[in-house]
Amino acid sequence: MRVAAIQTTAGDDRAANLAAAGALVAEAATAGAQLVVVPEYFSVAGTPEVLRAGAEPLDGPTVTWAAATASRHGIHLVAGSFPERTGASDGRLANTSCLLAPDGTVVAVYRKIHLFDVALDGVAFRESATIAPGHSSAVAPLPVTSTGEAPVLGLTLCYDLRFPELYRMLTLDGATVITVPAAFTAATGPAHWELLLRARAVEEQVFVIGSAQVGELPAGMPRCHGHSMIVDPWGTVLAERTDPSPGVVLADLDFAFLSTVRERLPVLANRQPGAYVGLHGNDRGTPN
């Protein structure tokens, strides 16, 4: 299966952002990508006030664009994320990622669980002031490959990458590919982005697709690291965009190789769930 990670630099104009992303998705589809992933906040980026003003329901302009784009190209499309207006009683939004099928239907919705409340280089970011955390993980089947494998996609977003518990849950729920749309900061990216993507891929023995914003975003957003990349279950970086500009990263995923890795190094089968109960009071069990 050929997949693509799209790298963008979102501006303050949603129509322009969607047009720029659309051109890169078209480039990826022309190159044969069957699954395409665009970054976090790819359609609306900026201060909390900008996010609130640009917030939309699940059937708003961003998902409508994503549905039309997936259908036009006959691809699965992970619509990175957008600020979703959910009607929450406290007025907060959700940071929402969707998987669109080739017929344009929404087949999975994930609302970011881990929120970016940090202080970096003297600058504080409090995503939770605007965004309410999600509470559910999300997986969805992908098309059966020509060699008979049945891949399953798990959805995550940016800061989630630092919480391995979520990735283990997705893997135990069947994920063999996990997507990470992100706006990973330039402050932490050089030290942590590749390290964490490769660690999650090795720990879970899955393919990981990191699709990132790059460069200067609108005020209220950090400068972003870029380096969109695709990593295999052995931790090998299959493809990476090192140029600090928007673009497309392509790689072919070999699910027979994933099966071989899991057979030869059976870390998932060698888990000891009974020893982990004290971590959170329960355990997800063992994979099928």
Residue 229 DSSP SS3: strand
- Which residue among the candidates 56, 84, 98, 158 is catalytic per the annotation? 158
Contact partners, residue 70, CB within 8 Å, separation at least 6: 76, 77, 100, 101, 102, 103, 104
Catalytic (active site) residue 112: yes
40 given a catalytic annotation: yes
Q: Helix, strand, coil % (nearest 5) of the chain?
A: 30, 30, 40
Which stretches does DSSP call E strand in 222-272?
Answer: 224-225, 229-231, 237-240, 247-252
Starting at the earlier edge strand, list the strands of the sheet with 76-84.
106-111, 94-100, 76-84, 35-37, 2-7, 247-252
C-beta atoms surrounding 31 within 10 Å: 11
For residue 13, give both structure tokens. 């104009």
Which residue among the candidates 56, 84, 98, 112 is catalytic per the annotation?
Answer: 112
Asked if residue 229 lies in contact with residue 197, where contact means CB atoms within 8 angstroms, the answer is: yes
Q: How far apart are CA 241 and CA 212, in angstroms?
A: 10
Gyration radius (Cα) of the chain, Å? 18
Q: 130 forms bridges with which residues in the sheet?
A: none
CB within 8 A of 217, min separation 6: which ones? 9, 10, 11, 41, 45, 46, 183, 223, 224
Residues sharing a CB contact under 8 Å with residue 199, sequence separation 6 or more, in sequence order: 164, 235
Query: What are the catalytic residues?
Result: 40, 112, 158
